[in-house]
Amino acid sequence: MKRALITGITGQDGAYLSQLLLSKGYEVFGLVRRSSAAEVMDEKLRWLGIAAEVRLVDGNLTDLSSLLRTMRDVKPDEVYNLAAQSFVKSSWNQPLLTGAVTGIGAANVLEAVRLEAPSARFYQASSSEMFGLIQEPVQTERTPFYPRSPYAAAKLYAHWMTVNYRESFGLHATSGILFNHESPLRGIEFVTRKITDGVARIKLGQQRTLALGNLDARRDWGHARDYVKAMWAMLQHDTPDDYVIATGRTVSVRDFCDLAFAHVGLKADDHVVVDERYLRPAEVPLLLGDSGKARQRLGWAPDTSLEQLVVEMVEADIDRLKFQGACR
Ligand code: NAP
Ligand code: GDD
């Protein structure tokens, strides 16, 4: 039985990746940071019905000693570093924390792997946000980076550290450059979930308007359930490498609103208002990925269309609000 260690197991991707690895017969361990709200810490794992099947280990990305101990105790075959301060907007308010967790934290995990589990295969959750102010209309593994936020700068450091540990120490270290991926388990502060939650509340008569920021931003949005399959596939390849994971289709925030409101028979224009509090000091206006390399080498392709994703998210939010489910 293979053993996988996931940092960030309580997040969106950690939950879906755990589900995938359990279905493949893995023993799944997850690093979790101590929280005063321990009762809701594993709510995404519970939503998927797998909380009892994963083993949680107390630790923090900023505490190298906890990572060294965890590697020694778990003896993982595969390490997925998904933990991060992942909300771009917060990274301007907490730039140093973001650097410490999202950047140095990844280096801490790499060090722990190098020192305690050097034969483990390592996955780094890199991001299309690193392309930032895009230098090519369609982004591939060869597109130059231009980070536009403290988050993106921290991810870029973690990405290059992953490449360097691969080249310097021969670690099986892979960087997945994933474009935006969403699901009913997406954090409520990210725009897609904010929209589907807002649509559900408006449909149920709980609110009238939905306040958003830049409606013209365009993203290449896929489903998290599809994207964690790519993470796993990357670590099954004998040669570590870097891969772009994307759908190859980009739409605007406005388009996403139109789809979500239309699903419940409403018009976005009647409810969406722009509130400058949600604008950013610097924007990433457009992302569009070409995942040709992953499709060719890993046989990976997304299964879920944008339209299916929107419907699944809106329906999940309606159900949650109707039944007062715990997972917000
Ligand atoms: P998420 O839902 O925000 O989850 C982040 C996880 O990191 C949570 O489990 C969080 O724990 C954990 N974490 C934060 N700080 C930590 C620390 N100091 N020590 C240990 N754990 C810590 O993010 P996601 O959407 O699942 O994304 C997973 C990873 O992929 C992230 O690194 C993200 O930056 C990256 N990524 C995401 C996307 C996307 O579109 N979703 C695209 C590209 C890259 P708590 O539950 O305690 O907060
Ligand atoms: N969050 C948010 N809230 N975003 C808004 C809003 C709003 O009210 N209104 C417009 N937007 C725009 C943002 O300005 C941005 O251009 C776009 O919607 C997407 O914002 P987010 O959903 O917050 O995601 P992100 O693209 O900044 O970052 C996500 O994707 C990255 C991959 O490209 C995160 O998951 C990152 O962790 C990830 O690396």
Q: With helix as H, strand as E and coil as C, how does 13-60 read?
A: HHHHHHHHHHHCCCEEEEEECCCCCHHHHCHHHHHCCCHHHCEEEECC
Same domain, 153 and 237: yes
Q: Which one of the ligands is nearest to 227 CA?
A: 1
CA 7 distance to own-chain centroid: 12
Pair (133, 201) in one structural domain: no
My answer on whether 50 and 121 are in the same domain is yes
Q: Is residue 294 part of a domain?
A: no
**Within-domain flag for 290:** no
Same domain, 136 and 205: no
Catalytic (active site) residue 151: yes
Q: Domain range spanning residue 113?
A: 3-182+222-245
Do 124 and 241 lie in one domain? The reply is yes
Determine the pLDDT at residue 327. Answer: 47
Best residue among 12, 64, 86 to mutate for probing ligand 1's pocket (most ligand atoms within 8 Å of CB) is 86
291 assigned to some structural domain: no
pLDDT in single tens digits along all 328 residues of the chain = 999 999 999 999 999 999 999 999 999 999 999 999 888 999 999 999 999 999 999 999 999 999 999 999 999 999 999 999 999 999 999 999 999 999 999 999 999 999 999 999 999 999 999 999 999 999 999 999 999 999 999 999 999 999 999 999 999 999 999 999 999 999 999 999 999 999 999 999 999 999 999 999 999 999 999 999 999 999 999 999 999 999 999 999 999 999 999 999 999 999 999 999 999 999 999 999 999 999 999 999 999 999 999 999 999 999 999 986 444 4
229 in a domain, yes or no?
Answer: yes
Does 127 participate in catalysis according to the annotation?
yes
Do the strands 242-245 and 172-178 form a parallel or antiparallel pair, or are they unpaired?
parallel
Residues 158 and 235 in one domain: yes
User: How many residues make up the chain in this entry?
Assistant: 328
Q: Do 266 and 120 sit in the same domain of this protein?
A: no
Domain harbouring 81, CATH code: 3.40.50.720
Residue at 159 is within a domain: yes
Say what the pLDDT of residue 323 is: 85
C-alpha to C-alpha distances, 93 to 88, 99, 133, nearest whole angstrom: 10, 12, 20
What is residue 325's predicted lDDT score, i.e. its pLDDT? Answer: 45
Q: Which residues line ligand 2 (CB under 6 A)?
A: 86, 88-89, 127-129, 179-180, 189-191, 194, 212-214, 217, 219, 253, 278, 280, 283-284, 287
Does residue 106 sit within a domain?
yes
Question: Does some domain include residue 272?
Answer: yes
Q: Are 209 and 111 in the same domain?
A: no
Q: Answer yes or no: do 310 and 167 share one domain.
A: no
Q: Are residues 97 and 197 in the same domain?
A: no
- Residue bearing the CA closest to ligand 1, atom 13: 83
Q: What's the pLDDT at 38?
A: 85
| pLDDT score recorded for residue 326 | 40
The CATH number that applies at residue 200 is 3.90.25.10
φ, ψ dihedrals at 175, nearest 5°: -115, 120
320 within a domain of the structure (yes/no): yes
Q: Are 211 and 279 in contact (CB under 8 A)?
A: no
Residues 155 and 263 in one domain: no
Same domain assignment for residues 96 and 203: no
Number of domain units in the chain? 2
